[in-house]
Structure formats: C-alpha cells, structure tokens
Amino acid sequence: MFLNRFSLTCCHQACFLGKSVAHDRVQAAGEFIQKPFKIQLGRGLYGECLAIRADRNSKLSHEIGLELSRRSAAAGLRPIGAVVFMQRGILKVCLRTTDSTTNTANIAKAYGGGGKPSSSSFALRMDEFNTWTSVNS
C-alpha cells in the first residue's frame, strides 16, 4: 500500500513538473515574440504568414512557431508561423501550424526539406530569404 501511494505521488509530481516546464516554454515564447514580420512564403507562391528571427532562441522554435501560427491566422494570413535562425552557418526556416487543414511539409519539400503537415523545416539561402521579406521594406 505504501509503495502504491509513493508511486502515485511520484507520478503526480512528474506530471506537474512536466506541465510546469511546458507552460514556462510557452510563456517564454510568447514574451519573445515582440515584433513579428510578414514574409511571402516561396515569394508569395504559398501565401503570407508571420515570421521572426530567433537566432538565440532556436530551442523554443516549436512554441514560437505555434504562437506565430495563431497570430498569423488572427491577422488574416495563412495560419503558419515561420521561425528563422542561423544553424551552423545555414539559415534554417521552421514552419509550424495550428490548423489541421494546412500542410507545412509541402512548402518545406519544395525547398529540399521535410517534416510533418503541422511541423516542417528546411534550409534557405540568405538572398532567397531576403526576397521573401523584401515586400516589407
């Protein structure tokens, strides 16, 4: 009986800790996103969405991308969040969506990347990325 209670207590503590860490990551992502900008995915071929450079926060790319996806949808853009950062000298673009009808993997595959419909990534040359953002200049 003592072992069962001990096991349950440990399980509850682990669940609480896991939820707390997840909440902290989501909160940190929301605080990081101060000034997202619009990009034209594939020079507009795949529509527009919100993006952010996260060079020093790439470990939060999933949470940041999901929050950007929600904000993109609220702004009338494609429900995709693009998180862009340098990784070993290469520009990496991570796409996330909260919309089950949007497939980010199709965009990633067009640029040599891959992933799942809700979460994908690819590498992009800086000059190409600049054409995606030039509409905002």
Please tell me the distance from the alpha carbon of residue 17 to that of residue 72, in angstroms, as a whole number: 31
Give the model confidence (pLDDT) of 64-111 as tens digits. 999 999 999 999 999 999 999 998 888 999 999 999 999 999 999 999
Q: Which long-range contacts (CB under 8 A, 24 or more apart) does 102-107 make?
A: 102/78, 104/80, 106/46, 107/41, 107/42, 107/46, 107/80
Is residue 28 a part of any domain in this protein? Answer: no
Strands 80-87 and 37-40 turn out to be: unpaired
Is residue 95 a part of any domain in this protein? Answer: yes
Is residue 87 a part of any domain in this protein? Answer: yes
Question: What is the CATH number for 69?
Answer: 3.10.310.30
For tokens 């949470």, name the residue. Answer: 63
Is residue 12 a part of any domain in this protein? Answer: no
Is residue 31 a part of any domain in this protein? Answer: no
Q: How far is CA 32 from CA 28, 64, 85, in A?
A: 6, 8, 14
Q: How many CB atoms lie within 10 A of CB 44?
A: 12
Q: Which residue range forms the structural domain that includes residue 44? A: 37-136
> What would the two tokens of residue 47 be?
């529509």
Give the model confidence (pLDDT) of 114-133 as tens digits. 999 999 999 999 999 999 98
Is residue 96 a part of any domain in this protein? Answer: yes
Give the chain's domain count: 1
The secondary element (H helix, E strand) that includes residue 61 is helix 61-74
pLDDT band at 2 (very low <50, low <70, confident <90, very high): very low
Give the model confidence (pLDDT) of 16-28 as tens digits. 555 454 445 555 5
SS (H, E, C) 2-47: HHHHHHHHHHHHHHHHHHHHHHHHHHHHHHHCCCCEEEEHHHHCCC
For tokens 């640029």, name the residue. Answer: 111
SS (H, E, C) 66-91: HHHHHHHHHCCCCCEEEEEEEECCEE
Is residue 50 a part of any domain in this protein? Answer: yes
Is residue 3 a part of any domain in this protein? Answer: no
Determine the pLDDT at residue 35.
85
